Structure 1
């Protein structure tokens, strides 16, 4: 089973699309944005720690925690 949270490659204008269980939840420009999306989805408890857990989060197309334009 793949991670339920995917942080996609940085866009050409900066930011990364975030999906939770296949649903787009927003465009993150930093980790705080991702944590807020997770909180809104009911995953707020220790959401920041989930960002480095590969069973929860898959970072695609770029280094983790980097949001600069591609």
Structure 2
């Protein structure tokens, strides 16, 4: 099983036009262009203390590229 299979939140690689796809518990949450977008998606999904989860590898798996980077590389 890969990290993304066992992690509740998966942040996809940065898109060529900017933003990252966000999946929460296997369901698409949208395209985040910032940490603020990501926190809002997590809040809507009912995850408490969303800001504290962003750097917790037990909760969030950042695919490719550095975490907290949303623009094209």
Q: Report the TM-score, using the length of structure 1 for normalisation.
A: 0.93
Aligned pairs, number: 69
Structure 1: runs of 5 or more not aligned: none
Matches within 5 A, 1:1-70: 2-43=6-47, 45-70=48-73
Superposed displacement of residue 61, structure 1: 1.0
How far did 1:39 drift?
0.6
Choose between structure 1 and 2: higher strand proportion.
1
Alignment gaps of 5+ in structure 2? none
Cα drift, residue 2 of structure 1? 1.5
Q: TM-score, normalised by structure 2?
A: 0.89
